Amino acid sequence: MGNAVRRILVFQLARFGDLVQSKRLLSSFAAVQNAEVHLCLDQSLLPLARMLYPFATAHGIPAHRTGADAGELFSVCRKTFALFRELNFSSVCFLNFSPLSFACAALFPPEKVIGYARVDGQDMRSKLFGLAFNLLRDRRFSPVNLADLWAFCHTDPIAPEKVNPIAHPAASGRIGIVASGRAPRRSLSPQILAGCVRAVFQARGGPELVCLGTAEEASSARALKRELPARCAEKFKDLTGKTALADLPDILRGLDVLLTPDTGVMHLAAHLGVPVQAFFLSSAWCFETGPYGMGHSVWQARESCSPCLESSPCPRKTACLQAFAHPSFLARLAGKYREGWPENLLGLVTMPDDVGVACKTVDGVDPCAEARAQLRAGLAECLGLPGSEAHPAGKDAAGFLFREKDWMPPGDWEKAAIRERAF
């Protein structure tokens, strides 16, 4: 196309954390010569999107409107979709497996669509996303971060180490805390979180504690404060419900570390290079959605049922919580060593490799580590990444990564999309 402008549109119709996790993909598109990047997302996230991605033109639609069907949404969004038609995008990328995503995909010629498409009335997914669904057959072995999976919608994404800054404390004497996320089962209870906060507070010499979250999470913050010893509670500053999304970056930049479950605030902290200590349990699985970048710590509960389905009730009364109350773990948070590490807890650090950012185990034993590494090597080979031949996949990787139908040649719409993606 020579020096012609390439207009690229990315639909990210999920939530706060997913928007931040789209950074590697969006930055890769922005690095294309003569590229003009557009982003379509829920209108509530427009201010955050414009702050995160000043190089992109952000378009808002009511994607999260409760109770609205696709027809009603399309009526509200008529002007936006008419603008999309005028802009005549070279490529349109859909990242979310949802009815709204497929409905929006039907607005564009299938040969221009990357990811999820609607072709002749049928919902289709690209080979890459089909591969991801195969991996979800057993999430214990998940070999790739979601941010990297999305990034490979671009044929040559930027290097993972160029996405986020290396984590570095602000040396401010302030610890950030996210008491809970949207899904309560993925968060530590106030009693157990209080023990973790107390240990880090002790290790860092009694700094100020800053609790972050929405108004819906204010009750969790109050419950946490009640469980803290007096010397911690005296330095506890509750900002839940008192800050807007636009305020968060400045607050996070002033922290030495953020203690958090798997939340959007965690991903925003990693985006800014703020050190994260993340608590993952229940359906939260750090190998899929861990903090992106180098220098973050993750504590992953590992039960026989991990990771579970968030939509299914827990028959074990969230047994994975108990690992975070183990004396050896709390001693580690306090900067001490105590024998007897809990067998159902992994301590990991984040670091980049050929595929993206991986969580590497430094505490505990992960029985799935070898199989996960083999699958990651197999994925690198499938993606044709440089150096993948130096780390050959195991003989069983192909059988796990692919199903019989995956050996069929791509359809006409996907072949056209692959040609169009020669960025």
Q: What's the pLDDT tens digit per position in 177-232? A: 999 988 889 999 999 999 999 999 999 999 999 999 999 999 999 999 999 999 99
Q: What's the pLDDT tens digit per position in 305-351? A: 999 988 888 988 889 999 999 999 999 999 999 999 999 999 999 99
pLDDT of residue 402: 72
For the cut 50, the answer to whether the pLDDT of residue 422 exceeds it is: no
For the cut 50, the answer to whether the pLDDT of residue 31 exceeds it is: yes
Q: What percent of the chain has pLDDT over 70?
A: 91
pLDDT of residue 419: 47
Q: What's the CA gap between 363 and 291, in Å, rounded? A: 18
The amino acid present at 281, given as its one-letter code, is L
What's the DSSP call for residue 19? H
Contacts 24+ apart (CB under 8 A), 282-285: 282/183, 282/185, 282/186, 282/306, 282/307, 282/308, 282/310, 282/314, 282/318, 282/320, 283/183, 283/185, 283/186, 283/307, 283/308, 283/309, 283/310, 284/186, 285/139, 285/142
Q: Which H or E run contains 362?
A: strand 357-363
Distances 278 to 62, 180, 237, 288 between C-alpha atoms, Å: 31, 12, 20, 13
Place of tokens 């919608």: 153
Identify each DSSP E strand in 15-90 by its residue range.
35-42, 57-61
Provide the whole-model pTM. Answer: 0.93
Q: What's the pLDDT tens digit per position in 257-315? A: 999 999 999 999 999 999 999 999 999 999 999 999 999 999 999 999 999 988 888 98
Query: Which CATH architecture is the domain 174-352 placed in?
Result: 3-Layer(aba) Sandwich (3.40)
CATH class of 6-157+411-420: alpha beta
For the cut 70, the answer to whether the pLDDT of residue 393 exceeds it is: no
For the cut 70, the answer to whether the pLDDT of residue 391 exceeds it is: no
Kindly state the tokens that stand for 117.
Answer: 């498409």
For the cut 70, the answer to whether the pLDDT of residue 2 exceeds it is: no
For the cut 90, the answer to whether the pLDDT of residue 405 exceeds it is: no
Q: What's the CA gap between 183 and 104, in Å, rounded? A: 28
Q: What's the pLDDT tens digit per position in 3-13? A: 788 999 999 99
The values of phi and psi at residue 408, to 5°, are: -70, 145
For the cut 90, the answer to whether the pLDDT of residue 409 exceeds it is: no
Dihedral, CA atoms, 261, 263, 266, 271, nearest 10 degrees?
160
Q: Is 228 exposed, middle or buried (0-12, 13-18, 19+ CB in 10 A)?
A: buried
CATH 3.40.50.2000 maps onto the chain at 174-352
Q: What's the mean pLDDT in 237-265?
A: 95
Q: What's the CA gap between 105 and 92, in Å, rounded? A: 8
Nearest CA among 37, 38, 45 for reference residue 61:
45
Q: What's the mean pLDDT in 61-90?
A: 86
Q: What's the CA gap between 64 and 220, in Å, rounded? A: 24
pLDDT of residue 384: 85
pLDDT of residue 1: 46
Mean pLDDT of the chain: 91
pLDDT of residue 300: 98
Angle ∠(35,36,40) on CA atoms, nearest 5 = 130
